[in-house]
Amino acid sequence: MSNFQILHTESSSAARLGLLTTAHGTVETPVFMPVGTAGAVKGTTPQQLKETGSEIILANTYHLLLRPGVETIEKLGGLHKFMAWGGPILTDSGGYQVFSLSSLTKIDDDGVEFASHIDGAKIYLNAEIATDIQNRLGVDIIMCFDECTKFPIEKPRLKKSIDRTILWANRCKEAHNNPNQLLFGIVQGGIDLDLRSYCASELVKTDFDGYAIGGLSVGEGHEKMIKTVTHTAGLLPEDKPHYLMGVGTPADIIAAVKAGVDMFDCVLPTRNGRNAYAFTENGPLRLRNNVHIQDARPIEADCDCYCCRNFSRASLRHFFNCGEMLGPILVSLHNITFYQRLMSRIREAIKRSNFADLAKRFDY
In whole angstroms, the minimum distance from the beta carbon of 298 to a second copy comes to 11
Q: Contact between 352 and a second copy (CB under 8 A)?
A: no
In whole angstroms, the minimum distance from the beta carbon of 247 to a second copy comes to 24
In whole angstroms, the minimum distance from the beta carbon of 40 to a second copy comes to 4
In whole angstroms, the minimum distance from the beta carbon of 30 to a second copy comes to 28
Of 40 and 251, CB closest to a second copy: 40
In whole angstroms, the minimum distance from the beta carbon of 39 to a second copy comes to 6
Strands (E), 189-324: 210-213, 242-244, 263-265, 277-278, 285-286
**Helix (H) / strand (E) containing 336:** helix 326-352
Residue span binding a second copy (CB under 8 A) among the ranges 108-116, 176-184, 252-260, 305-313 = 305-313
Q: Which of 140, 192, 252, 265 is catalytic?
A: 265
Q: Which of residues 2, 25, 77, 348 is near a second copy by CB under 8 A?
A: 77
Tell me, residue by residue from 314 to 343, as one string, x for binding to a second copy by CB under 8 A and - for no binding.
xx-xxx-xx-xxx-xxx-------------
Q: Residue 361: CB partners within 8 Å, gap ≥ 6?
A: 281
List the beta bridge partners of residue 8: 17
For 54, 76, 252, the CA distances from 184, given in Å and listed in that order, are 21, 26, 22
Give the phi and the psi of residue 332 in degrees, each rounded to 5. Answer: -60, -45
Q: Which of residues 6, 13, 21, 68 is near a second copy by CB under 8 A?
A: 68
Q: Within 13 Å of residue 162, how many CA atoms lie on the same side as its CB?
A: 27
Residue span binding a second copy (CB under 8 A) among the ranges 80-88, 123-131, 283-291, 343-351 = 80-88
Q: Contact between 75 and a second copy (CB under 8 A)?
A: yes
CA-nearest of 81, 94, 100 to 134 is: 94
For residue 99, count other CB atoms closer than 10 A to its CB.
Answer: 19
Of 76 and 104, CB closest to a second copy: 76
Give the phi and the psi of residue 18 in degrees, each rounded to 5. Answer: -135, 175
Q: Which of residues 43, 94, 248, 250 is near a second copy by CB under 8 A?
A: 43
Q: Contact between 46 and a second copy (CB under 8 A)?
A: yes
Question: Which 222-251 positions form the footprint of a second copy (CB under 8 A)?
Answer: none
* Number of residues in contact with a second copy under rule CB under 8 A: 41
Q: Mind giving me the DSSP string for 253-284?
A: HHHHHHTT--EEE-SHHHHHHHTTEE--TT--
Q: Contact between 44 and a second copy (CB under 8 A)?
A: yes
CA Rg value for the chain: 20
252 has catalytic annotation:
no
Q: Which of residues 24, 57, 59, 63 is near a second copy by CB under 8 A?
A: 63
**Helix (H) / strand (E) containing 208:** none
Pairing of strands 242-244, 210-213: parallel
Q: What gap in Å lies between CA 143 and CA 135, rounded to an integer? A: 10
Q: Residue 78: CB partners within 8 Å, gap ≥ 6?
A: 137, 138, 139
Q: Which of residues 47, 154, 179, 290 is near a second copy by CB under 8 A?
A: 47
Give the phi and the psi of residue 357 in degrees, each rounded to 5. Answer: -60, -45
239 has catalytic annotation:
no
In whole angstroms, the minimum distance from the beta carbon of 148 to a second copy comes to 23
**Catalytic residue list:** 92, 265
Query: Which positions lie near a second copy, rule CB under 8 A?
Result: 38-40, 42-48, 63, 67-68, 72, 75-77, 81-84, 293-294, 296, 306, 310-312, 314-315, 317-319, 321-322, 324-326, 328-330
